Amino acid sequence: MLNHLNCPNSLLDLSTPQVMGILNVTPDSFSDGGKFTHFEHALEQVERMIADGATIIDIGGESTRPGAAEVNEADELARVIPVLKAIKQRFDILVSIDTSKASVMSAAIAAGADIINDVRALQNDGCLAAVANSKIPVCLMHMQGLPSTMQNKPSYENVICDIMMFFKQRIEACVSAGIARERIILDPGFGFGKTMAQNLNLLANLSVFRELGLPILAGLSRKSMIGNLLNRDVEQRLAGSLSTAMLAAQQGAHIIRVHDVQETVDVLKVLKAVTAHR
Ligand code: 8Y4
């Protein structure tokens, strides 16, 4: 039913799950030790992710891991915009910008961003208007609480129903602000204010969100739920991450956000080959 996402300058095929490669440009990112803050290294990383089969590159200049400090606007702009411009100049690839600040959204849109990825689902001041003033799609992610405190006693009546209600409210807010429904991607926000049981429940029931008829994005790569489940440090979570990618895709996720692009693309090829024989 959902066959593509309409980005103004190109159509993203969603008939088969797509891989979004993570490019971190935060100096304190504990996953990559900060080495990608260097511009040239960031571009090499992008080139490799494209060669490995990523169709979207997600650039984040604000660390949203639990307990992370907030980043000021000037630093975030300085980290994200030059990398965005260089990628759009050198490569034919969709770029999403992971930000919750209206000023960064507007600057990124002006610099050629294809998608806004907001873990706060456009709830900060000016964000609805910033996206409404463009033609590009937006990913609305669910988070309970804020990164500094979100893992301290997350609580839901029913995690699936509560997130479904949140999606319906945010879709309505977007449509009222002038963001067409066709421009919206939904993401339940694995690890963002959720216990292990709530994350597992979400992954087991991800297909429920298909009833909203919008593309679904899932981000589980290297997250704590995998580390805690398997008792693995962050650099030893590849097998766990790949299994969650397979599960999410099998439940109908359209976009999988990952660090390990080559391995995830292989996993999705296997799924696609088998699905063709159903
Ligand atoms: C190791 C490396 C352990 C990274 C944890 C992490 C999502 C997202 C993030 C997501 C969407 C992260 C920006 C958290 N997660 N955006 N962003 N969906 N749409 N942690 O799940 O990757 S940052």
Q: Work out the average pLDDT over 200-224.
A: 98
Alpha-helix residue ranges (DSSP H) falling in 113-237: 127-132, 159-177, 196-204, 224-230
> Which CATH number does the domain housing residue 9 bear?
3.20.20.20
The reported pLDDT for the residue numbered 122 is 98
Distance in Å, CA 130 to ligand 1 centroid: 23
Check pocket membership of 65 for ligand 1, CB cut-off 6 A.
yes
Please tell me the distance between residue 181's alpha carbon and the centre of ligand 1 in angstroms: 24
Q: What is the pLDDT of residues 155-197, one digit of tens each?
A: 899 999 999 999 999 999 999 999 999 999 999 999 999 999 9
Distance 64 CA to ligand 1 centre (A): 7
Q: What pLDDT shows up at residue 33?
A: 52
Q: Whose CA is nearest to atom 7 of ligand 1?
A: 219
- What would you measure as the largest C-alpha separation in the chain, in angstroms? 51
Domain that holds residue 156: 4-275
219 lines ligand 1 (CB under 6 A): yes
CA angle 77/79/80 to nearest 5° reads 65
Q: Which atom of ligand 1 is nearest to the CA of 98?
A: 13
Give catalytic residues, as residue numbers. Answer: 223, 257
Which tens digit of pLDDT belongs to each residue from 101-123? Answer: 999 999 999 999 999 999 999 99
Q: Tally Cβ neighbours within 10 Å of residue 13.
A: 13
Total structural domains within the chain: 1
Q: Compare 33 and 224 and report the one with higher pLDDT.
A: 224
Of all protein residues, the one whose alpha carbon is nearest to atom 3 of ligand 1 is: 223
CA distance 29 to 256: 20
Q: Are 60 and 24 in contact (CB under 8 A)?
A: yes
Q: Tell me the C-alpha distance between 165 and 247, whole Å.
A: 23
